[in-house]
Amino acid sequence: MKIIVVDPERRIARAEAGLTLGEFDAATQAHGLATTMGVNSDTGIAGLTLGGGFGKLGRKHGLSCDNLIAAEIVTADGRLLRTSASEHPDLFWALRGGGGNFGIVTAFEYRLHPLGTALLMGSVLHAYSHAREAMRFYDEFSRDAPDEVSVDAALVTLPSGDRAFCISACYVGSPEAGGPIIAPLMKFGSPIDSRLQAIPYLQIQSAGDSLFPRGRRYYWKAQFMREISDGAIEALLDSYARAPNHSSLLVFQQVGGAIARVPASHSPYANRDAALDRFPIAIWDDPADDEANTRWARDLWNAVRPLLNRRRLCQQSR
């Protein structure tokens, strides 16, 4: 079920549920269009959209489910229905982040947006000894960033075995306009590496592929949060220093922007007031290491919970 029909005049795409993100993005980009999708090209559009759907375009254009115009669904009693704001609206509402078993969606109709074939990407890598200051800067920079900017970060381990903190920003607009906005990120501190260049959108959209090849073992848990407190920084740095292998990550994914401006009643998708999605990712190969890796991810996730103001925390497990 991989048929996709793009109407460039109306800026709408009808996509069957078997499509991957890479297949969807390639078809829409052929017309200079796109909508919010994730950054692993082999992810299915169906699960992503029905669960909400983060991506580089989210702060500018909303979640994948926010850009859903209609969905075709087979219900438990065998009916094939088209759902939209005017056709079976309650069911359409539930499909956009409800997480329930409402039926099997066979096709999606999305709103598309004009987008160039390349976007400006800036990234900086800070030594672990400077990670505290860099994490505070990331928190401030991401909170003040315009909707056109999607800025993520991660604690990583380099091939040398050294730990580091990486910040990357994507500007959703012309590369020329994005330069001055991303400039403070490039100038902060004394990074051990920095890069600023226009990168093809399809390459950005498959950026996660190399990190998550098929056949490895993965475990992660996520928390939505509104800020990175000093206490959280200390707990995260201490926990990440004890990661069981070099592949493990601690990722911050920026949300907010257009996502936060959608009324809560628009869909069952919750936590729209979050600023960041934070999640430890354990990655390993040997089944004998399952317990050590899952325990590390759970311990890191739990280490931050008591340090956050409950009224300012949204939680999500994956």
Query: Which CATH number belongs to the domain containing residue 189 in this structure?
Result: 3.40.462.20
pLDDT in tens, 239-263: 999 999 899 999 999 999 999 999 9
User: Residue 144 CA to chain centroid, in angstroms?
Assistant: 19
Same domain, 186 and 304: yes
Q: Are residues 145 and 77 in the same domain?
A: no
- Per DSSP, the residues of 90-131 read HHHHHHTT--S---EEEEEEEE-EE--SEEEEEEEEEEGGGH
Local confidence band at 308 (pLDDT 50, 70, 90 cut-offs): low
Domain shared by 167 and 26, yes or no? no
CA 84, CA 137: separation in Å to the nearest integer? 42
* Residue 283 and residue 142 share a domain: yes
Q: Are residues 290 and 177 in the same domain?
A: yes
Q: Are strands 313-316 and 33-34 parallel, antiparallel or unpaired?
A: unpaired
Cα separations in angstroms, 65 against 37, 110, 228: 10, 9, 27
Are 164 and 225 within one domain? yes
Residue ending a domain, choose from 114, 132, 164 = 114
Co-location of 168 and 281 in the same domain: yes
Would the CA dihedral through 82, 53, 20, 218 be positive or negative? negative
- The residue among 73 and 222 whose pLDDT is bigger is 73
Residue-wise pLDDT tens digits, 107-121 = 999 999 999 999 999
Q: 23 is in which domain, residue-wise?
A: 4-114
Domain boundary among 53, 83, 114: 114
The verdict on 123 and 106 lying in the same domain is no
Reported as a single tens digit per residue, the pLDDT across 8-61 is 999 999 999 999 999 999 999 999 999 999 989 999 999 999 999 999 999 999
Per residue in 169-225, pLDDT tens? 999 999 999 999 999 999 999 999 999 999 999 999 998 898 899 899 999 998 898
**Same domain (yes/no): 199, 302:** yes
pTM for the model stands at: 0.90
- Can you tell me the distance from the alpha carbon of 142 to that of 125, in angstroms, rounded to the nearest whole number? 16
Position 221, amino acid:
K
β-sheet bridge partners, residue 252: 153, 278
Based on the fold, state whether residues 303 and 171 are members of the same structural domain.
yes
Q: What is the mean pLDDT of the chain?
A: 92
Q: How many domains does the chain have?
A: 2
> What proportion of the chain, given as a percentage, has pLDDT over 90?
81
Q: What is the CATH number of the domain that holds 11?
A: 3.30.465.10
| 267 touches 315 (CB < 8 A) | no
| Residue with more model confidence, 165 or 210 | 165
Alpha helices in the chain (DSSP H): 21-29, 45-50, 58-61, 89-95, 131-144, 175-187, 201-204, 230-240, 258-261, 290-304
Separation in Å, CA 295 to CA 68, 155, 212, 238: 37, 18, 20, 15
> Are residues 178 and 233 located together in one domain of the fold?
yes
Closest residue by Cα to residue 60 from 113, 7, 138, 123: 113
Give residue 307's pLDDT.
60
Same domain, 195 and 100: no
**CA-to-CA separations, 199 to 38, 70, 91, 124, in angstroms, rounded:** 16, 32, 39, 16
Out of 71, 91, 114, a domain closes at: 114
